[in-house]
Amino acid sequence: MWQKLMSTSPPRRTNYLLESTQPSVQEQELWPDITWRMSSLLRAGLRLPNIIKIVHQHLTKMLTEHPLHAQKHGVFLRREQRAYYFALEDAAQLLQCMYQRACAGLPMVTLLQDLSPARSYSHQRCIELISCWYIAEKTGAPIAQAIERLARFYESEIDLDQSRSSAMAAPQTTGMILSWLPALGIALGMLMGAKPLVILTQSSGGLLISLIGLWLALAGRLWTSRLIAQAQKGQKCSSTIH
């Protein structure tokens, strides 16, 4: 079923500037907020189009209050803030498509053909939400209960991500300090009057040592970054560099 849902989803539009930006806590909490609101309104007995319309109005208000709404280019905004704005647009687009399907009486799974979120995190969350809705429609399970369980899953994922970030803070700081040690050693040598730059740049042996040192420093930085990235993703760390 998962492969079927993925096959109906169109290629995601890529924003290369923000692709490397990790989702902030504010962006992550957007999705449990949406699902909790939907489940509460479902349990209150409102009709589905009205529920989606109310949540969409809430997102529209958040979009208009965002600094990027008035400042279109967002030159002075952090990348996390711009990424959050794109996430709000992705969620608003999802709810707009859901509203159209709900008014027409069409299955929610068909809206995956029209979605093109900008954020990869939004893309994953959209598929999970529609998958939850699809399972409830197919099995006859209460949609409100299924949405609540999805909201709890989102919250547990946020807690786990924050725990991983806290655990990785020390290794990241250590790796950054170690990467600056060669430059600090050269600076200390210059202060002591040893003229390390002259030795490293004006002799064949010094140039060879400089190239080897630069290669080792770069390889060490890449290796450390790879180990930290694998640990954050919960993958088994490899001791070799490919």
User: What is the average pLDDT across 190-212?
Assistant: 79
* Pair 107, 181 in one domain: no
Q: What is the DSSP letter of 233?
A: T
Winning range, highest mean pLDDT, from 150-154, 159-163, 198-202, 207-211 = 150-154
Q: Is the pLDDT of residue 211 over 60?
A: yes
Q: What is the pLDDT of residues 153-179, one digit of tens each?
A: 999 988 888 777 777 777 777 777 777
3-state secondary structure of 146: helix
Q: What is the DSSP letter of 78?
A: -
Both tokens of 191, joined, read 């202060």
* Pair 28, 135 in one domain: yes
More confident residue, 130 or 5: 130
Task: Please give the helix or strand (H or E) that residue 22 lies within, else none.
Answer: none
Q: Could you count the other beta carbons within 10 Å of the beta carbon of residue 46? A: 15
* Pair 157, 173 in one domain: no
Q: Could you count the other beta carbons within 10 Å of the beta carbon of residue 88? A: 23
* Pair 149, 189 in one domain: no
* Pair 218, 181 in one domain: yes
Residue 242: pLDDT band with limits 50, 70, 90? very low
* Pair 69, 189 in one domain: no
The reply to whether 240 falls in a domain is no
- Give the end of a domain, one of 161, 180, 206: 161
* Pair 222, 128 in one domain: no
The reply to whether 123 falls in a domain is yes
User: What is the average pLDDT across 203-230?
Assistant: 79
Query: Which pLDDT score is estimated for 32?
Result: 93
The reply to whether 88 falls in a domain is yes
Q: What is the pLDDT of residues 32-50, one digit of tens each?
A: 999 999 999 988 888 888 9
- Give the end of a domain, one of 111, 126, 161: 161
- Cβ pair 75, 114 in contact under 8 A: no
- Give the end of a domain, one of 161, 182, 199: 161
Residue 182: pLDDT band with limits 50, 70, 90? confident
- Cβ pair 190, 196 in contact under 8 A: yes
Q: What is the pLDDT of residues 82-119, one digit of tens each?
A: 888 888 988 998 999 889 888 888 888 777 777 788 88
Q: Is the pLDDT of residue 24 over 50?
A: yes
* Pair 125, 93 in one domain: yes
Question: CA 90 → CA 78, 183, 238, distances in Å?
Answer: 19, 44, 36
3-state secondary structure of 52: helix
CA angle 149, 150, 155 (to 5 degrees): 95
| Number of structural domains in the chain | 2
Give me the domain span that covers residue 103. Answer: 2-161
The reply to whether 191 falls in a domain is yes
How many angstroms separate the CA atoms of 242 and 235, rounded?
16
* Pair 87, 46 in one domain: yes
Query: Which pLDDT score is estimated for 175?
Result: 72
User: What is the average pLDDT across 55-66?
Assistant: 89
How many angstroms separate the CA atoms of 33 and 64, rounded?
18
* Pair 138, 224 in one domain: no
Q: What integer best gives the mean pLDDT of the chain?
A: 79
* Pair 109, 191 in one domain: no
* Pair 102, 146 in one domain: yes
Q: Is the pLDDT of residue 30 over 80?
A: yes
